[in-house]
Structure 1
């Protein structure tokens, strides 16, 4: 019987599964299994210009080879346009979202932060749609790994984009709608998304959606401190030999080694890892591969 916990791993198909994405997948899977819950996989493929052909299928095949198998059918954001449109229309109808023709260059003097439109409506080109962030909007939450967090959303982020001028859905809207639609109760992901969380909680409030718990895992960085996915060191993990990569991800999660006598397959290793997993040991600092 499920505990009611519903976690997820939501990769973007911009490349093959590497050490950083494996760490996020393993961490979210361990949280779900430790809680006796369900673990979902969602392909976040709305940013089509950044997508690499075949990457999503290779990522899913690698997860399967590592023994990280979703408990429900895999969801693809590219097939959920109607859900996002309904949410956006609701916000616009209630005056909580508005069209904006400002370009990045227009907003550069303000550090890219939108507080008021500086460009007049231009009927010759489509606008972006932004969430209206009220003055004095401060968002607080407690992260399971990083502790108490606070963000002055109005001055640090401003009115943020929900639908892009190029016709693509913005990450913030899609992820909030999908987490609610899939009943996700806990979001366990990389710390590179920590500063997005206040925006997502604000959007959940605006849409009347529940707010899940959050845990942001350490990133895998190279010797220069760059996120691995941005580094030349972002080599794919080897699905044909999963145990070494799983052990490295386990260590990066701050976990103590456990006995592995007779372990030959990833499913055996994962079973023992669940029993040994201690979330309180996860470091709030990044790790090198």
Structure 2
């Protein structure tokens, strides 16, 4: 691995003096926030604040064509209504596309990426990329850009899910950082921004668990510090479906914010909190927070979320 990239990078992360824990909530505006999003927000906020850390918010909107009209403003209204107060200005990724391009240029300089002309039709149903374009030395213009991976086991210890391991070459192959249409891939943007924001701990849903090794590998290639992860179990409705935008989960009803906040705390198997103003309820939730009570596998909402 060429470590010269560490010396060439001029991206310096935010330094948070006297804070060992910097967490974040990073929703994507591809639809309105739903109850599963609220569970993640509550868990990430309480985990950070219970450790006297900082809590940040980032809107992950690099996939501009998929932005759902009005969803960004809905996210901001939710944060305000539920009394979540970030400890730094909210970042919108689409305002910082140049920083991702700069990181890609650094990776090019160190021969860690290559241009790929493979279309979905060419790839078919293959789940593992075979490295078809790795040695073709194609021009980068109007092509996808893939990060090279190696044949090695990468492991990390998840705070809830335990040890997770993957060999990216065998399980996935070289993966895309920038699409042929110019859209910056989630994997690149999240790694760069976590680094620049000084994030030390990530709390998010288990549906993102299989992204983590990719992000650890990219962070390693860039010389970034290792992040600690906690992947929450998926929230399941009465029909056994996970709450998601794809399943058309109902948008949060802001007129019921105190009740929904109390239900989110119960869904995480925490001690009940009293119905009050959301700011007061969050303080109580932080005081009572106990990570060990969170279920490991699934959160069943039947009888909790109505």
The reply to whether residue 87 of structure 1 matches residue 103 of structure 2 is yes
1:281 aligns to 2:290 (yes or no)? no
- Residue 257 of structure 1 and its aligned partner are, at CA, apart by 2.3
Corresponding residue for residue 64 of structure 2: 48
Aligned to 2:143: 127
Q: Residues 124 and 271 from structure 1, CA distance in 2 versus in 1: closer, same or farther, beyond 3 angstroms?
A: closer
| Bigger mean CA offset, 277-286 vs 168-177 | 277-286
Question: Of residues 229, 238, 243 in structure 1, which corresponds to 2:258?
Answer: 243
Structure 1 residues 50-65: aligned runs within 5 Å? 50-65=66-81
Q: Deviations over 1:67-95 (max 9, x none)?
A: 11211100000011121111111111111
Question: Is there any run of 5+ residues in structure 2 with no aligned partner, and where?
Answer: 1-16, 302-306
> Cα gap change, 1:245/1:2 in structure 2, threshold over 3 Å: closer, same or farther?
farther
Alpha-carbon offset, residue 121 of structure 1:
7.8
Q: How far apart in 2 are the matches of 1:205 and 1:118?
A: 23
Q: Which residue of 2 aligns with 1:98?
A: 114
Distance 2:294 2:47 in 1: 11
Shift of residue 239, structure 1, vs aligned partner: 1.6
Give the secondary structure class of the aligned counterpart of 2:156.
strand
Q: Quick check: 1:106–1:118 contact (8 Å CA) kept in 2?
A: no
Deviations, residues 130-152 of structure 1 (Å, cap 9, x unaligned): 00012x22110000111111112
Structure 1 residue aligned with 2:272: 257
- DSSP-derived class of the 2:124 partner: helix
Query: Structure 1 residues 151, 44: closer, same or farther in 2, change over 3 A?
Result: same
Q: Please show how residues 178-257 of structure 1 align to structure 2 within 5 Å.
A: 178-230=193-245, 232=247, 234-257=249-272
- What is the distance in 2 between the residues matched to 1:54 and 1:148? 39
Equivalent pairs, count: 284
Report runs of 4+ in structure 1 exceeding 3 Å deviation. Answer: 118-125, 230-233
Relative to 1, partners in 2 of residues 1:182 and 1:166: Cα closer, same or farther, differing over 3 Å?
same
What's the secondary structure of 2:299's corresponding residue? coil
In structure 2, the CA distance between the partners of 1:90 and 1:130, relative to structure 1 (3 Å rule), is: same
Paired position in structure 2 for 1:22: 38
RMSD of aligned Cα (Å): 2.0
CA distance in 1, matches of 2:169, 2:149: 6
Deviation string 1:12-63 (CA, Å, 9 cap, x unpaired) is 0011111011111111000111011111100000111211122111111111
Residue 123 of structure 1, CA deviation: 7.1
Shift of 1:242: 1.1
- Measured after TM superposition, the shift of residue 102 of structure 1 is 0.8
Q: Gaps spanning 5+ residues in structure 1: where?
A: none
Q: CA deviation at 1:196?
A: 0.3
Q: State the shift of 1:203 in Å.
A: 0.2
Q: Please give the TM-score of this superposition, normalised by the length of structure 2.
A: 0.87
For the 8 Å contact 1:140–1:198, the answer to whether it is kept is: yes
In the alignment, the residues of structure 1 paired with residue 96 and residue 251 of structure 2 have an alpha-carbon distance, to the nearest angstrom, of: 28
Question: 5 Å matches for 1:147-162?
Answer: 147-162=162-177
Is contact 2:27-2:58 (8 Å) kept? yes
Query: Does the CA-based 8 Å contact 2:115-2:138 persist in structure 1?
Result: no
